[in-house]
């Protein structure tokens, strides 16, 4: 009956949703690249992704993007690598009331959070190429 859950192969998050800007900083990465050895054992968290979402689960890779405001204040995606999802949690969004039919799920009523660990960190050159080629039209950071 009318339920909607997104199945994603890409984790695209903002700083407010938990993107770890203390670890993944483009300017620093270009001069002293982050390596998988530096982050492979860390568990990172994300939260507040609107809509109920299921991501491909470990051992299947999920592409990892930082959603950043661009020079025109629009969203821009910057690819950082690949992650392995470790946990998912879907809960009611306390800020959103149901607006659909009584027997139809309203996706905005739900938020998804979870944990992940890094599988790959793209080196700066590949990061630029991947971002340009694998980001939806109009969303590339570069």
What local confidence, expressed as pLDDT, does residue 102 receive? 66
DSSP secondary structure letters along 43-58: -EEEEEEES-EEEPBT
pLDDT tens for 9-62 read: 999 999 999 999 999 999 999 999 999 999 999 999 999 998 999 999 999 999
- Tell me if 12 sits within 8 A of 114, measured CB to CB: no
CA dist 76 and 70 (Å) reads: 5
Does residue 1 register a pLDDT over 50? no
pLDDT tens for 93-133 read: 777 676 666 666 677 788 999 999 999 999 999 999 999 99
Higher pLDDT, 23 or 1: 23
3 pLDDT tier (thresholds 50, 70, 90): low
Model's pTM, two decimal places? 0.90
Annotate 41-57 with b (16+ C-beta within 10 A) or e (fewer).
Answer: eeebebeebebbbebbe
What local confidence, expressed as pLDDT, does residue 96 receive? 67
pLDDT tens for 62-85 read: 999 999 987 678 899 999 999 999
pLDDT tens for 82-101 read: 999 999 999 987 776 766 66
């Amino acid at each position: 009956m009318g339920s909607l859950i997104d199945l994603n192969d890409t984790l695209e998050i903002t700083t407010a949703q938990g993107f770890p800007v203390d670890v993944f900083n483009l300017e620093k990465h270009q001069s002293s690249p982050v390596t998988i050895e530096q982050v492979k054992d860390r568990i990172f968290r994300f939260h507040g992704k609107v809509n109920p979402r299921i991501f491909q689960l470990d051992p299947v890779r999920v592409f990892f993007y930082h959603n950043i405001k661009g020079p025109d204040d629009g969203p821009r995606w910057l690819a950082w690598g690949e992650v392995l999802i470790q946990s998912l949690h879907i809960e009611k969004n306390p800020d959103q009331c149901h607006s659909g039919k009584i027997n139809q799920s309203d996706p905005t009523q739900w938020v998804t959070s979870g944990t992940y660990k890094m599988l790959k960190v793209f080196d700066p050159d590949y990061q630029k190429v991947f971002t340009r080629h694998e980001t939806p039209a109009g969303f590339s950071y570069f």
